[in-house]
Amino acid sequence: MKWGNRLNRHSTYEEWLVQFDGLNGIELERNTAMDLERLKSELESWSQTTDETSWPDQGVKLLTKAGCWRNAIPKIHGGYGACSLDRLKLYETVASASLTLALILTQHDGACELISDSDNEALASELLPQFASGKLLTTVGISQLTTSRRGVGPAMQAEADGESFRLSGVMPWVTSAGKAHCIVTGAAIEDGQQILACVPTSTAGFVVKEPMRLMALTDSWTSEVTCEKVLVTREHLLRGPTVKALARRAPAKPLTVSSCGLGAAGSLLAAIQERRGSLPGAGELIDKKIVKRYEAVRDRLYQAAESLNTDAQEIPATEIRLEVNDLVTRLAVSLMALLKGSGYLSSHPTQRLVREAMFFLVWSAPPSVQIGALESMWE
């Protein structure tokens, strides 16, 4: 499969923009400092119109128009090369209007990071500009190497085949798989080592299953993907064979889920504020406790984020994740208590936020986050 135009490295950044923006005909804001307030209000008015199963096409176009796909991509490949702090602010903003779009964007950025930080410069130069412009979409299918341990043995295996590898197995969870042009995935080799590869979804033996029906976020088109002896040539290899293919991750990674959680917390808190008059004593509790807890958790996350691009000591990412999980869960329960029976109607617009809140208990949650969430609930 020939991926798009081969690019000469000498074109200027502006030539990049002209070359790619024309492709998808979307007029782009030319400034790199994203207008997050404007993006939030555009996404909020759009998200009022969505159903919970269709692919969020218009929402994706709004992200393209705002230049969101460029954020995690280095400037040399047509991106903004945004710092971790700006990336986390964007995730919070998008998640406060649409958790589905935040999930699609973070998985896309996760794949772009692994490609730009890979040993495969040729592939990065070929693909990243097309991802930056929104012409092509990508995502990751790596939970089989991280937080999903289905049954015994590695879920995805790679067998050497001359200079190449053959992938066989399953990626249990891949968001936007049905819309992605390629998926960054990982597999275990018999000798215990691992590889990371960027596989075009059109490759023979690569099967994207129907999007799963989920408690929420069904419109993220998250699917199981199976591989039957899928060929991975050197051209598609990103890392490995190596002991831990995902040892190196981008600085923003440890706080990515938490920043989306903060966005979800912001929209839950806004819904709670709207009902502050519906229950005697609620207003005082909201001001004295709930808002204070929200602000304290938010301050802690951004204090840690400030130090991400410095050589400060390791940030307390798990602690912050647990605080965000605890905040989102408490806000969801509090909103439900204020909504009463009417909030239990599946037609009620706000009950979706309560269902979405549960996602933070299962998204990229290692045992330390799982047990931490249980302990904080039963302390």
Ligand X SMILES: Cc1cc2nc3c(=O)[nH]c(=O)nc-3n(C[C@H](O)[C@H](O)[C@H](O)COP(=O)(O)OP(=O)(O)OC[C@H]3O[C@@H](n4cnc5c(N)ncnc54)[C@H](O)[C@@H]3O)c2cc1C
The answer to whether residue 75 forms part of the interface with ligand X (CB under 6 A) is: no
Judged by CB under 6 A, the stretch of 72-80, 89-97, 135-143, 162-170 that binds ligand X is 135-143
* Distances, alpha carbon 129 to alpha carbons 11, 18, 73, 252, in Å: 12, 12, 8, 21
Pick from 85, 127, 128, 140: which binds ligand X (CB under 6 A)?
Answer: 140
- Residue 102 and residue 83: Cα distance in Å, rounded? 17
Alpha-carbon separation of residue 130 from 6, 46, 112, 170 (angstroms): 11, 25, 11, 27
- Among residues 130, 144, 224, 215, which one has the least CA distance to residue 177? 224
Stretch that binds ligand X, among 1-9, 262-270, 320-328, 358-366 (CB under 6 A): 358-366
64/100 with CB nearer ligand X = 100
Question: What's the CA gap between 265 and 123, in Å, rounded?
Answer: 38
Nearest to 183 by CA among 108, 240, 129, 251: 108
Among 139, 194, 223, 334, binds ligand X (CB under 6 A): 139
User: Closest distance between ligand X and the C-beta of residue 222, in Å?
Assistant: 4
# chain residues binding ligand X, by CB under 6 A: 20
Q: Where are the alpha helices (DSSP H) in the chain?
A: 13-24, 36-47, 57-65, 84-97, 99-116, 121-132, 253-274, 282-285, 291-306, 317-339, 351-357, 367-377
Q: Which of 24, 50, 148, 307 binds ligand X (CB under 6 A)?
A: 148
Cis omega (within 30 of 0) for bond into 56: no
Residues 6+ apart with CB under 8 A from 354: 268, 332, 335, 336, 343
Cβ within 8 Å of residue 346, ≥6 positions away? none
Least Å from the CB of residue 203 to ligand X: 18
- Residue 171's DSSP bridge partners are 225
Closest listed residue to residue 336, CA positions, set 94, 218, 258, 328: 328
Does residue 360 touch ligand X according to CB under 6 A? no
Interaction pattern, residues 297-336, with ligand X; x per rule: CB under 6 A:
----------------------------------------
Instruction: Determine if 217 is a binding residue for ligand X (CB under 6 A).
Output: yes
State which residue, 133 or 139, has the beta carbon closest to ligand X: 139
Residue 129 CB, nearest distance to ligand X (Å)? Answer: 23
| Least distance between ligand X and beta carbon 139 (Å) | 5
CB of 219 to ligand X, least distance (A): 11
Give the contacts of 124 (CB within 8 A, at least 6 positions apart).
Answer: 77, 115, 116, 118
Q: Judge contact between 173 and 167, C-beta under 8 A.
A: no
Question: One symbol per residue from 85 to 114: x for binding ligand X (CB under 6 A), - otherwise; what is it?
Answer: ----------------------x-------
Q: By CB under 6 A, tell whether 256 contacts ligand X.
A: no
Place of tokens 């991750």: 249
Judged by CB under 6 A, the residue of 253, 363, 369, 373 near ligand X is 363
Judged by CB under 6 A, the residue of 50, 125, 147, 168 near ligand X is 147
225: Cβ–Cβ under 8 A, 6 or more apart, which residues?
141, 170, 171, 174, 177, 183, 185, 206, 207, 208, 209
Question: Of 223 and 350, which has the nearer Cβ to ligand X?
Answer: 223
CB 183 within 8 A of CB 174: yes
Considering the complex, state which of residue 184 and residue 338 has its C-beta at the smaller distance from ligand X. 184
Q: Which of 8, 108, 125 is nearest to 64 (CA)?
A: 108
Window of 55-63, 91-99, 142-150, 234-242 that interacts with ligand X by CB under 6 A = 142-150
Q: Which is nearer to ligand X, 34 or 68 (CB)?
A: 68
Quick check: 261 binds ligand X (CB under 6 A)? no
Examine residue 115 and tell whether it contacts ligand X (CB under 6 A): no
By CB under 6 A, the residues from 158 to 187 that bind ligand X are 172-175
Residue 288 interacts with ligand X (CB under 6 A): yes or no:
no
Q: Which of 47, 118, 143, 334 binds ligand X (CB under 6 A)?
A: 143
Closest CA to 139 of 99, 109, 167, 100: 109
**Which residues would be at the binding site for ligand X (CB under 6 A)?**
107, 139-143, 147-150, 172-175, 214, 217, 222, 362-364
